Amino acid sequence: MSRMPALSLAAIPGRRKATIELALEIEKKGFSGIYGPSLGDSLALCEALAFTTSEIHFGTSIIPIYFRQVADYAQTASFIHEVSGGRFKFGIGVSHEPALKQRGLSAGKPLTDTRNFVEELKAVPRAGELPPIVLAALRKKMIALSEEIGQGMVFANGARSHMQDSLSTLSDEAKQNDEFFIGNMIPTCISDDVEAAKAVNRKTLTSYAVLPNYRNYWKEAGYVEEMEGIEKAVQAQDFEKVPQFLTDKWLADTTLFGSASVVRDGVEAWFDAGVKTPILVPSSANGGQMKAFEEMLAIF
């Protein structure tokens, strides 16, 4: 493939050394990047990647802005930026209410808090040069903010059919600028057993479907009936019903699943939709996370 996707990688306790070795394999294979989700400590992973990899670009696909003090983030992000030779992108976001509640935190106003965070980050004294800042975004106001105050944006579970409409918020200059990051984290399951692959992705996205900010985005993308069905199930505390509203049409619009060739063609379709860096999030119908990466590396 001429256009290679990036991969999402998390360092799970007990597998951290194996994860670094896997990152080296990802680099050798020519993937365009490695991006860490908020699962685990993705900044620590990025610091390790700065020293163990030599060419591949990497970053946090999202670090929640409320988890640490701004000065701490500025020092760490600048350190990784400097020692990696500029290969690091600092992806930030407001996270979700359940994740914040677990830590005894409460979210403010996403746009205001993000703007303030970036201003404070840039004002930290003696931190050093900062890396490019990428905003986690779903809807148009945050996408616009990503161009105003950042150097890119990243979706999680975006809808491909809605992507061009979402990206119409950006200037042509940003869309055409190779330095402006446009990413999307895409749940991906490679299997010739299509139904099994769909079931895996459905399970992955069920936890997102119960979050109001995602449902509002998917309504904007045209999936009103499905999201209203989920809302009724959530209100009735009937969570087992949620997956049945994640229809095949919706699943094909937000995830990749099926045979090797179908997944590869799907990656090309994401590039064509305007996503400069599709970030595949591998799951397997036949095993755990390491099996999923084995399957992923085999098809590219």
Q: For residue 87, what are its two tokens?
A: 């290969």
Residue 4, pLDDT > 80, answer yes
Q: Tens digit of pLDDT for each residue in 34-66?
A: 999 988 899 999 999 999 999 999 999 999 999
* Residue from 67, 85, 13, 70 nearest 45 by CA: 13
284 vs 52, 128, 147, 154, 207, CA distance in Å? 27, 41, 35, 24, 18
Q: What is the pLDDT of residues 246-255, one digit of tens each?
A: 999 999 999 9
SS3 100: helix
C-alpha separations of 109 from 114, 117, 146, 189, 300 in Å: 8, 12, 16, 35, 41
pLDDT digits (tens, 9 = 90+) for 226-266: 999 999 999 999 999 999 999 999 999 999 999 999 999 99
* Alpha-carbon span 110 to 171, nearest angstrom: 22
DSSP state of 5: P
> What pLDDT is recorded for position 99?
72
- The per-residue pLDDT for range 191-225, each reduced to its tens digit, is 999 999 999 999 999 999 999 999 999 999 999 99
Number of DSSP helices (H) and strands (E) in the chain, helices first: 14, 9
CA dist., res. 144 & res. 140, Å (int): 6
**What separation in angstroms does the CA of 92 have from each of 28, 68, 115, 117, 186?**
27, 12, 11, 9, 18
| pLDDT tens-place string over residues 104-145 | 877 789 999 999 999 999 999 999 999 999 999 999 999 999
Buried b (16+ CB within 10 A) or exposed e, 187-216: bbbbbeeeeebbbbbbebbbebbbeeebbe
pLDDT for 246 equals 96
Strand partners, 154: 136, 183
Token pair of 214 as six digits: 């995602």
Domain range list for the chain: 6-189+257-299
- Tell me how long the chain is: 300
**Class of the domain covering 6-189+257-299:** alpha beta
pLDDT for residue 97: 73
For residue range 10-35, list pLDDT tens digits in order: 998 999 999 999 999 999 999 999 99
The pLDDT of residue 296: 97
Tell whether the model's pLDDT for residue 98 goes beyond 90. no
Question: How far is residue 84's CA from residue 46's CA, in Å, rounded to a whole number?
Answer: 9
Residue 181 to residue 178: CA distance in whole angstroms: 7
The pLDDT of 172-180, averaged and rounded, is 97
pLDDT at 1: 61
Residue 101, pLDDT > 80, answer no
> Could you tell me what percentage of the chain is helix, strand and coil, using 3-state DSSP and rounding each to the nearest 5?
50, 15, 30
More confident residue, 183 or 40: 183
What is the mean predicted confidence (pLDDT) over 65-71? 94
Q: Is the pTM of this model over 0.85?
A: yes
- 103 — pLDDT class (breaks 50, 70, 90): confident
Tell me the residue type at 81.
H
Neighbours of 85 (CB within 10 A): 10
* DSSP class of 130: P
- Predicted pLDDT at 277: 98
Q: What is the mean pLDDT of residues 68-90?
A: 98
pLDDT above 90 covers what percent of the chain? 91
